[in-house]
């Protein structure tokens, strides 16, 4: 970006365009980074400051996301410190005798594993603190008659009073159950996948030499650089290491849609549910993994949803990004990576076109991201149905113990459309945005 002393006097006096972001998740804070670099003033509306969840979740960052985060924070060395390598993508079948066989393996996976809360904090602390409006609960919004501005109404939780925040652009980063998306697309409803996920993060700091960890490492000798996926008929598990001596595990199991309360896809679990989970796990999984599950504090259940791809993610000066734009199942490691790339592409389009051409910038963002995200959402859906042995339109349900080599190719994350590519836009353009 140009320095102010290079600008004509009238340019110096012009106020910066203002963007209002609703949602303080990784999509929201990524968007704040990208838009500040594009010359926008950013106001981020959040209910409360982020706080690391004791349960939280692990995630996998692809190489482009890693590059973008490094360019935003200005502390490239820190990202390496808060992530672990995921060099191997390994899918294995497990039979009734708990014997494993390799179904598909990729030794050039080149992702890195992070804990959600740690990555969020890394992005959040690199932003100017004054952009955040804490304790503001989103209520509604309206676009001006001339389509030049947008007004967001929020409730100040401390006082109960209503306040208005105005901007040139409203960015909906309010997640897979987005209220802003629902305003434009009231008939778009989340689609239940047919399965839920038990998940947990096991902290083994101070117990590195315990019997449990020794057994887990013996059963998973490449832990620390490998994404392990074990498949049994109608089930699969995921296990990988994340920084600060923690192991992230997930068990997907087919079941009817749970009765969810409120605006959340996480269900409350009782002690009885947890005990039953342990008992069921013993029938299917390797004893080392079952012991890890038993010793994990506060395991929880996520119901897995996605949406059919949207036909539109831009309306006037309102734009959807992240899970608001493309709720997806987690089987292709795309949710966080798509959110980060959405933010970067939006920032690039806005910097290129400027506020005068806001409509053109948002249309370009939509034309770049919509086809890619749509294909990735549908691919992740298909992979989830394959791994869970659910009905597929064009072939018989997948059975890991009888699968052919050809059938197993779909298991690898390398099969996701545009894996390792950035179609319609060169990665160098995104990384240079904001530096001109």
Strand residues in 32-134 grouped as ranges (E): 41-45, 58-61, 84-86, 88-94, 100-106, 111-115, 132-133
- Judge whether residue 222 has pLDDT over 70: yes
- Judge whether residue 119 has pLDDT over 50: yes
- Judge whether residue 84 has pLDDT over 80: yes
Pairing of strands 18-22, 169-172: parallel
Pairing of strands 100-106, 88-94: antiparallel
How many residues are recorded in the chain?
Answer: 436
- Taking the C-alpha atoms of residue 416 and residue 51, their distance in angstroms, rounded to an integer, is 32
Phi and psi at 165, nearest 5°, equal -125, 125
Contacts for 65 with CB less than 8 Å, ≥ 6 apart: 336, 337, 340, 341
- Give the per-residue pLDDT at 433: 60
- Taking the C-alpha atoms of residue 384 and residue 379, their distance in angstroms, rounded to an integer, is 9
- Judge whether residue 2 has pLDDT over 50: no
- Judge whether residue 43 has pLDDT over 90: no
What is the overall mean pLDDT for the chain?
A: 89
- Give the per-residue pLDDT at 47: 63
- Judge whether residue 335 has pLDDT over 90: yes
**215: exposed, middle or buried (Cβ count in 10 Å: 0-12, 13-18, 19+):** middle
Query: pLDDT grade, residue 435 (50/70/90)?
Result: low
**15: exposed, middle or buried (Cβ count in 10 Å: 0-12, 13-18, 19+):** exposed
- Judge whether residue 299 has pLDDT over 70: yes
- CA–CA distance from 56 to each of 189, 266, 407 (Å)? 25, 11, 33
**Domains of the chain with CATH codes:** 4-55+119-189+309-396+414-432 (3.50.50.60), 79-115+192-306 (3.30.9.60)
- Give the per-residue pLDDT at 265: 72
pLDDT digits (tens, 9 = 90+) for 144-168: 999 889 999 989 888 999 999 899 9
Is 327:309 a contact under the CB 8 Å cutoff? no
- Give the per-residue pLDDT at 196: 95
């Amino acid at each position: 970006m140009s320095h102010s002393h290079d600008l004509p006097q009238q340019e110096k006096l012009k106020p910066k365009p203002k963007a209002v972001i609703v949602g303080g998740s990784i999509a929201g804070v990524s968007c704040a980074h990208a838009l500040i670099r594009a010359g926008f003033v950013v106001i981020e509306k959040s209910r409360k400051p982020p706080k690391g969840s004791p349960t939280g979740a692990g995630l996998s960052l692809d190489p482009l996301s890693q590059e973008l985060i490094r360019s935003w924070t200005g502390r490239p060395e820190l990202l390496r410190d808060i992530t672990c390598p995921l060099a191997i993508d390994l899918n294995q079948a497990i039979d009734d005798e708990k014997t494993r066989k390799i179904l598909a393996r990729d030794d050039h996976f080149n992702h890195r594993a992070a804990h959600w809360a740690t990555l969020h904090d890394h992005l959040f602390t690199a932003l100017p603190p004054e952009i955040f409006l804490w304790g503001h609960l989103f209520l509604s919004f309206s676009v001006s008659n001339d389509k030049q501005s947008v007004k967001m109404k929020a409730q100040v939780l401390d006082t109960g009073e209503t306040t208005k925040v105005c901007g040139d652009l409203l960015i909906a980063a309010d997640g897979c159950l987005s209220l802003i998306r629902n305003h434009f697309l009231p008939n778009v409803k989340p689609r239940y996948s047919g399965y839920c996920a038990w998940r947990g993060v096991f902290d083994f700091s101070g117990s590195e030499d315990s019997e449990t960890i020794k057994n887990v490492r013996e059963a998973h000798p490449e832990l620390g650089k490998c994404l392990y996926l074990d498949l049994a008929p109608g089930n699969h598990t995921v296990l990988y290491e994340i920084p600060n001596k923690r192991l992230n595990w997930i068990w997907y199991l087919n079941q009817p849609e749970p009765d969810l309360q409120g605006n959340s896809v996480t269900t409350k679990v009782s002690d009885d549910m947890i005990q039953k989970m342990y008992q069921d796990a013993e029938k299917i999984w390797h004893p080392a993994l079952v012991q890890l599950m038993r010793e994990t504090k506060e395991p929880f259940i996520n119901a897995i949803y996605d949406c059919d791809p949207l036909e539109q993610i831009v309306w006037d000066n309102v734009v959807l990004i992240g899970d608001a734009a493309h709720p997806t199942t987690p089987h292709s490691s795309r949710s966080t990576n798509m959110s980060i790339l959405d933010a970067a592409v939006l920032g690039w389009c806005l910097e290129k076109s400027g506020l005068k051409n806001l409509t053109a910038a948002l249309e370009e963002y939509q034309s770049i991201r919509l086809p890619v995200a749509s294909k990735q959402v549908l691919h992740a859906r298909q992979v989830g149905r394959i791994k869970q042995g659910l009905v597929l339109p064009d072939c018989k349900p997948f059975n890991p113990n009888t699968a052919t080599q050809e059938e197993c190719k779909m298991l690898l994350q390398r099969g996701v459309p545009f894996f390792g590519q950035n179609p319609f836009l060169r990665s160098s353009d995104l990384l240079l945005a904001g530096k001109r």
